[in-house]
Structure 1
Amino acid sequence: MRKITVKTEGMMCPMCESHICDVFRKSFPVRKVTASRRTGEAVILADQPICKDALNKAVDSTGYKVLQISEEPWQKRRLFHRS
């Protein structure tokens, strides 16, 4: 799993957050997407890496601006695990 954080500019309200999430869900094979206008970030969980140029184009088409994209491995934390 990959965690992709997209810093965006222009999100002002809950509808903006929803709009960004919808764009990522419709454009890419994602597991989960969250967006926050307060932090100016959208966080995507996906099985495969996503092309940064494609992310830029998807966000630009909505009228928002991408400031930064970072990607890192992600693993679900479990409450109980076996050693």
Structure 2
Amino acid sequence: MVKNIIRIDGMACSMCEAHVSDAIRKQFPDAKKVSASHGKKEASFVTEEPADEATVKKMIDETGYHYEGFCTEPYEKKGFFGLFG
């Protein structure tokens, strides 16, 4: 699994975060752990394979916010059940 992290400028409140999160869920219906933070100026979501950067950029541009970058990192489940593989 992969954590996709999008750097976004222009989000100012929790409604902005909800708008971005909804756009991610619409574009990537299988996404898990979708979250956005105007304080951190980023959004993230987990998928089986890395998301396509061009698709991510287009999606953010269409929301009216400013795409600033994209990266991925390996995602491992954490918590009690994660201890057992």
TM over 0.5: yes
Structure 2 match to 1:32: 33
If each structure's helix is expressed as a fraction of its own residues, which one has the higher value? 2
2:53 paired with 1:52: yes
Structure 1 match to 2:13: 13
TM-score (structure 2 length as normaliser): 0.90
**Consecutive unaligned residues in structure 1, runs of 5 or more:** none
Report deviation, 1:77. Answer: 1.6
TM-score (structure 1 length as normaliser): 0.92
Counterpart CA distance in 2 for 1:69 and 1:21 is 15
Runs ≥4 residues deviating over 3 A: none
Q: 1:15 to 1:82 in 2, by over 3 A?
A: closer
**Consecutive unaligned residues in structure 2, runs of 5 or more:** none
Counterpart CA distance in 1 for 2:62 and 2:45 is 18
Identity within the alignment, %: 35
Report deviation, 1:15. Answer: 0.4
Counterpart CA distance in 1 for 2:56 and 2:10 is 16
- Work out the number of aligned pairs and report it: 83
Report deviation, 1:82. Answer: 4.2
